[in-house]
Amino acid sequence: MERVVYLDNNATTMVAPEVVDAMLPYLSGKYGNPSSIHSFGGDVGADIAQAREKIARFVGADHDYEIVITGSGTESDNLAILGSIAYYKDKRHIITSRVEHPAVISLCKKLERDGYRITYVPVDAKGNLDLAYLKESVDDDTAIVSIMYANNETGVIFPVEEIGEFLKEKGIPFHVDAVQAAGKIPIDVNKINCRLLTISGHKFHAPKGIGALYVRRGTRLRPVLYGGHQEKGRRPGTENVAGIIGMAKAAELAMEHLANIDEMKRLRDKLEEGLLSAFKNASLNGDKEKRVPNTSNIGFEFIEGEAILLYLDAKGIAASSGSACSSGSLEPSHVLRAMGVPFTSAHGSIRFSLSRYTTEEEIDYTLKTMPEIVNRLLTISPYWDNEKQEGKPINL
């Protein structure tokens, strides 16, 4: 297959070669069960303990036993919320935001059907969370607050430290879905003052099928799965040993790389500024400043996102879109709608997300390729005046 310019790293990332190397022994010779008494398994148990320490350091946890290994970000989110409300049975109110990942939103919708009262905190036009609204929504009945660290579609960072401080005083459990922040900005659970925090391995160059939930010491959490003693009974099941080792290695590499994160930001900004200046019908979705350094979400007016993606794909460029058609649903993304992005550009929104493997050459190639694609689709569009080279007035 031809080389792909992969600009869809918020969807998933390449497994780092060092991570593959670290995992391989556990997929062949070192297959012991970490729970076994014999040293063949016990050695593996020791390796897992080391890996757990690395993952704890990655999120700034004080103790390695505060890390519960899970199978995905979705599982961690579910364990955090379901595990907390199972403990605080008399409290029937949950606060989250309108722009959470489906792993949280779908669960909250289900709990709403079960009789829970859910507050979905709104965002402004730039995708920033309405902090005052969140604070006002908290009451004696609030069982848990679950807010994402950074939004997957726009990259906008939420004020989790302020929320954490506020909730700590109130004594209300705070869960942070940090899936899109891990590896892009430093994470420190003590600065955030959260009791629970979710990460997912495949978003920072570990393989798919491995995630973790940070559970602050003393936090009340009931398991969702029942079985053996693994993860201190909070998430039983024989360990995904290679996955844990891989995620720990990936966490170590990500922390090293955070020192060079400005380079990723420089390339992202080059792409973004290049596209915004090349097309007068393009605009940025999301707050320009308060963002993770790898994400750029751009709305192209008068053309449709899936068509852009298909044309990009033909040129070997992988990106993603918040358009209705690309997702299989019929409405544009819930995030863009919550921000009030007009339909004229929401349907044509494209998310570019970089990784530390993205090169300047790839960004230049994308900048060179986009005009051809956008102009082609504008020519086809009934909302574009080809003679005047401007959009036609649209009566909605």
Cβ proximity of 55 and 67 under 8 Å: yes
- The span from the CA of 79 to the CA of 306, in Å, is 34
**Which residue, 115 or 328, is less far from other proteins as judged by CB?**
328
Q: What amino acid positions are annotated as catalytic residues? A: 325
Instruction: Please report how close the Cβ of residue 330 comes to other proteins at its closest, in angstroms.
Output: 3
**Tokens 């380079």 identify what position?**
263
Tell which phi-psi region holds residue 237, choosing left (phi > 0), alpha (psi between -120 and 50) or beta.
left
**Which residue, 43 or 331, is less far from other proteins as judged by CB?**
331
- The span from the CA of 279 to the CA of 370, in Å, is 10
Instruction: Please report how close the Cβ of residue 307 comes to other proteins at its closest, in angstroms.
Output: 5
Which segments within the chain are labelled E, that is strand?
Answer: 5-6, 67-70, 93-97, 117-121, 142-148, 174-177, 196-200, 211-215, 282-284, 295-300, 317-318, 320-321, 349-353, 384-385, 390-391
Comparing C-alpha atoms, which of 3, 8, 1 is closest to residue 309?
8
Instruction: Please report how close the Cβ of residue 335 comes to other proteins at its closest, in angstroms.
Output: 16
**Which residue, 37 or 396, is less far from other proteins as judged by CB?**
396
**Which residue, 218 or 382, is less far from other proteins as judged by CB?**
382
**Which residue, 343 or 365, is less far from other proteins as judged by CB?**
343
Instruction: Please report how close the Cβ of residue 295 comes to other proteins at its closest, in angstroms.
Output: 22
Backbone angles phi, psi at 215, to 5 degrees: -125, 105
How does DSSP assign 143-207, residue by residue? EEEEEESB-TTT-BBP-HHHHHHHHHHHT--EEEE-TTTBTTB---HHHHT-SEEEEEGGGGTSP
The amino acid at residue 97 is S
Comparing C-alpha atoms, which of 197, 213, 100 is closest to residue 154?
100
Instruction: Please report how close the Cβ of residue 157 comes to other proteins at its closest, in angstroms.
Output: 29
List % helix, strand, coil for the chain (3-state, nearest 5). Answer: 45, 15, 40
Which residues lie below 8 Å from residue 144, measured CB to CB, with a gap of 6+? 80, 81, 84, 85, 88, 94, 95, 172, 173, 174, 175
**Tokens 């005047």 identify what position?**
388
Number of H helices, E strands in the chain: 14, 15
Instruction: Please report how close the Cβ of residue 388 comes to other proteins at its closest, in angstroms.
Output: 14
- The span from the CA of 208 to the CA of 204, in Å, is 10
- Residues contributing to the site for other proteins (CB under 8 A): 302-307, 310-311, 314, 323-326, 328-332, 343-344, 347, 379-383, 394, 396
Compute how many other C-beta atoms are within 10 angstroms of the C-beta atom of residue 96: 24
**Which residue, 248 or 307, is less far from other proteins as judged by CB?**
307
Cβ proximity of 274 and 336 under 8 Å: no
- The helix-helix angle for 360-380 and 305-314 (nearest 10°) equals 130
